[in-house]
Amino acid sequence: MKRSSIELVDNARSTVDPWLPFEKRSVELETRLRMAATEDEREALQRELDAELKRAFSSLTPWQRVQVARHPLRPRMLDYTSRVLDDFIELHGDRAVGDDPALIGGLGRFEGRTVVVVGNQKGVSTDERLRRNFGMAHPEGYRKALRLFRLAERFGYPVITFVDTPAAHPGIEAEQRGQGPAIAENLRAMLALKTPVYSVVLAEGGSGGALGVALGDVVAMFEWSIYVICPPERCAEILWRDADRKELAASALRITAESLRSLGVIDEVLPEPPGGAHRDPDGAANTLRIHIRKFLEGCDTNQWSPRKRQEKFRAMGQWLEG
């Protein structure tokens, strides 16, 4: 089921005004554009809107970029799977404790081939967000993911992972059932996996909770997504006992897609439609489809091996040796 951008908007409108301050003018133009009576009027408004989106999104501060990544209207995993895959059959349960609705997965068909899909579904409506724990997984989520990775390896299916979580769930039961060991186990398993893995950060990738499903041969980030070791507000709280200094932390942590590509943490940046993926989920999904296709074609021609993946992650980090 595809949700159109209008549905996305209506859904979020039912709760609170989802728009960010620097989007107000664009939203106004978008509304006028929808009601435009003549072709001339439409064209003029479209030009004005294009210019306005370009202007508004070309000078965002690091904190505003965090806000875009956390935009309530941002497309979620299932918005992409419904557009990018021909079919998706969700599989449930970790075979030990239960099923985690925050970290989901299953079999998919991508352009006529079988793939395994795993990722965080953060939820759209308030109900869904609560039910899915805002995409924050428990250990059983990571163990379900591991089971699906192994299934993929067994049959030689490529894996596509969607990363969209602020963190692994911080909770008593999660600790009791081994949140740390579950994530650790996934890291080791993903690095050893003898099948190709493509990982894409959709919105906010947060700490070990994100990393636990994000060790792709290629790790991509959407242009306006962020990938953090800890949220900027928490970083500010820990370092300076002042969460209000989040803007300073957001800037210093270098969490944007292009910064992380230059640091070698990720491999590619997926450009978003003007004004962000939430304005045009179809356009964003199309970009993702093209990149996944390119990745799978590369794997078919043997530009892929677990060893390369291992070496890539081994090389991460910067130090001096005197």
Partner 1 sequence: MAFLRRRRFISVVGRKSGVPEGLWIKCPACKKAVYGTDVKDHQEVCPQCNYHHRVSVWQRIEWLLDPGSFTETHPNLISADPLGFTIKEVAYSYAQKVTEYQKRTGLKEAIITGFGAIEGERTAFSFMDFSFAGASMGSVVGEKFCRAADDAIRERVPLVSFATSGGARMQEGTLGLMQMAKTADAVRALNEAAIPYISVLTNPTTGGVYASFASLGDIVLAEPGAEIGFAGKRLIEGALKVSIPEGFQTSEYQFANGFVDAIVSRTEMRALLAKFLRYMKPQ
* Beta carbon nearer to partner 1, 112 or 317: 317
Smallest distance, partner 1 to C-beta of residue 278, A: 23
* Beta carbon nearer to partner 1, 177 or 278: 177
What is the distance between the terminal CA atoms of the chain, rounded to a whole angstrom?
A: 58
Rg (CA), the chain: 20
* Beta carbon nearer to partner 1, 45 or 215: 215
Smallest distance, partner 1 to C-beta of residue 236, A: 9
User: How crowded is residue 244: how many other Cβ atoms within 10 Å of its Cβ?
Assistant: 10
Identify the burial level of 253 via C-beta atoms within 10 angstroms of its C-beta, where 0-12 means exposed, 13-18 middle and 19 or more buried: buried
Give the footprint of partner 1 on this chain (CB under 8 A).
Answer: 167-168, 170-172, 174-181, 183-185, 187-188, 191-192, 207-208, 211-212, 215, 227-230, 235, 238-240, 245, 248, 252-255, 260, 263, 265, 310, 313-314, 316-322
Smallest distance, partner 1 to C-beta of residue 92, A: 24
Smallest distance, partner 1 to C-beta of residue 99, A: 21
* Beta carbon nearer to partner 1, 9 or 270: 270
SS3 115: strand
Q: How many angstroms separate the CA atoms of 232 and 132, rounded?
A: 23
Smallest distance, partner 1 to C-beta of residue 218, A: 14
Residue closest to 166 by CA, chosen among 257, 228, 254: 228
Q: What is the DSSP string of 231-298?
A: -HHHHHHHHHS-GGGHHHHHHHTT-BHHHHHHTTS-SEEEPPPTT-GGG-HHHHHHHHHHHHHHHHHH
- 60 CB contacts (<8 Å, ≥6 apart)? 22, 68
Smallest distance, partner 1 to C-beta of residue 13, A: 28
* Beta carbon nearer to partner 1, 130 or 290: 130
Smallest distance, partner 1 to C-beta of residue 256, A: 10
- 141 CB contacts (<8 Å, ≥6 apart)? 94, 100, 102, 103
* Beta carbon nearer to partner 1, 36 or 252: 252
